[in-house]
């Protein structure tokens, strides 16, 4: 299937590794020009080189910086000639007990996982509508549908974003101009973040990482973790010209882990 987005420009945030990188790779395969961001320049340059190898015809620009800061966002936006596709992503907040979180911890989580995507949407969405094409994908979490108690900062901040997007995506001046806004909700994906979580749990409990990972796999109907490239493939489809009638949705991709009917 031709996704019909070759030659468009995408800003993919937090894309040197993991799910953001998976999205950048899938968009590159569709011929989309890319601006990718991450905090560390070395991994970012390595990813950019991989992307250029995947799709020699596209332009790939890099912006090293923290996307959760006004400076990081400004630099990312300036680097992109026009944002046709926006993939919002940033690292998730740390786990913990809400009794230990002060106002600063909450503001940090809200900044990263709610207000940063909203600021980037604000900066790009009206120009998308004026051009008659726009695709915005927010990487959130399966925890929006099935909250995880130790991830209270994530549950809270991402639910705030989800509620906001539910309203915004239905504005006729956006949906009626072929601008869609959707959230992708990952379950357990085999990325650095997941490995770090297992290493932390192994250090605490003394149980080997592989044993913890295997126990977790068994809880997922697919009996495995997701791969970043399958996440990227869904992202690319949602960004394609074929998905103009899909907006305001929360698409869970979790190997069947969420047990509800809807
Ligand atoms: P990852 O740690 O593998 O990769 C994160 C990427 O984001 C890296 O490229 C890193 O440099 C970049 N990054 C992080 N914070 C940034 C910032 N402030 N500014 C710019 N770049 C930044 O993580 P991942 O597993 O790909 O997760 C991506 C998002 O999805 C996170 O918010 C995570 O909480 C969420 N999520 C992941 C899973 C999973 O199983 N992997 C499950 C649910 C939710």
Q: What is the pLDDT of residues 122-134, one digit of tens each?
A: 999 999 999 999 9
The string of pLDDT tens digits covering residues 53-88 is 999 999 999 999 999 999 999 999 999 999 999 999
Determine the average pLDDT of the residues in 224-228.
98
Nearest CA to ligand 1 atom 14: 91
User: Closest ligand 1 atom, CA of 19?
Assistant: 26
Does the pLDDT value for residue 147 go beyond 90? yes
| CB-based pocket (< 6 A), ligand 1 | 14, 16-20, 37-40, 66-68, 89-92, 139, 141-142, 186, 188-189, 191-194
Indicate if the pLDDT at residue 241 is higher than 90: yes
Query: For position 260, what pLDDT does the model report?
Result: 94
Residue 197 has pLDDT above 90, yes or no: no
| Residue nearest to ligand 1 atom 33, measured at CA | 92
> DSSP alpha helices (H): ranges in 68-191?
70-79, 103-110, 116-131, 152-168, 172-175
Question: Would you place residue 162 in the very low, low, confident or very high pLDDT band (cuts 50, 70, 90)?
Answer: very high
CB 81 within 8 A of CB 58: no
Contact between 125 and 167 (Cβ < 8 Å): no
Q: How far is the CA of 13 from the centre of ligand 1 (A)?
A: 10
Q: Is residue 169 over pLDDT 90?
A: yes
Residue 182's beta-bridge partner residues?
137
Give the count of beta carbons closer than 10 Å to the beta carbon of residue 37: 26
Q: How many angstroms does the Cα of residue 99 sit away from the middle of ligand 1?
A: 25
Query: pLDDT at residue 16 above 90?
Result: yes
Give the model's confidence band at 31: pLDDT under 50 very low, under 70 low, under 90 confident, else very high.
very high
Q: How confident is the model at residue 28 (pLDDT cuts 50, 70, 90)?
A: very high
pLDDT bucket at 100, cuts 50 / 70 / 90: very high
Phi, psi of 62, rounded to the nearest 5 degrees: -120, 145
Q: Report CA(92)–ligand 1 centroid distance (Å).
A: 6
Q: Residue 47 — pLDDT band, cuts 50, 70, 90?
A: very high
Give the pLDDT band (50/70/90) at residue 200. Answer: confident
Structure tokens at 257: 């882990």
User: Which atom belonging to ligand 1 lies closest to the Cα atom of 116?
Assistant: 18
Q: What's the confidence (pLDDT) of residue 5?
A: 98
């Amino acid at each position: 299937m031709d996704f019909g987005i070759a030659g468009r420009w995408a800003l993919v945030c937090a894309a040197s590794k993991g799910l953001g990188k998976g999205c950048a790779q899938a968009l590159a395969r569709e011929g989309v020009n890319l601006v990718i961001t991450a905090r560390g320049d070395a991994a970012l340059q390595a990813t950019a080189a991989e992307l250029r190898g995947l799709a020699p015809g596209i332009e790939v620009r890099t912006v090293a910086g923290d996307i959760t800061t006004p400076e990081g966002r400004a630099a990312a936006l300036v680097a992109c000639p026009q944002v046709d596709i926006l993939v919002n992503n940033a690292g998730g907040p740390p786990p913990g007990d809400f009794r230990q979180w002060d106002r600063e911890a909450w503001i940090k989580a809200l900044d990263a996982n709610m207000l940063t995507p909203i600021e980037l949407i604000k900066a790009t969405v009206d120009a998308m509508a004026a051009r008659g094409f726009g695709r915005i994908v927010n990487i959130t979490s399966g925890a929006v549908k099935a909250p995880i108690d130790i991830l209270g900062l994530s549950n809270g901040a991402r639910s705030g974003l989800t509620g906001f997007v539910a309203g915004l995506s239905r504005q006729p001046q956006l949906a009626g101009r072929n601008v869609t806004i959707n959230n992708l909700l990952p379950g357990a994906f085999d990325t650095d973040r997941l490995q770090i979580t297992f290493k932390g749990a192994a250090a605490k409990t003394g149980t080997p990482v592989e044993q913890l990972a295997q126990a977790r796999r068994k809880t997922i109907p697919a009996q495995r973790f997701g791969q970043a490239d399958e996440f990227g493939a869904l992202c690319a489809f949602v960004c394609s010209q074929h998905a103009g009638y899909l907006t305001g949705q929360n698409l869970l991709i979790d190997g069947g882990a969420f047990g509800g009917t809807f």
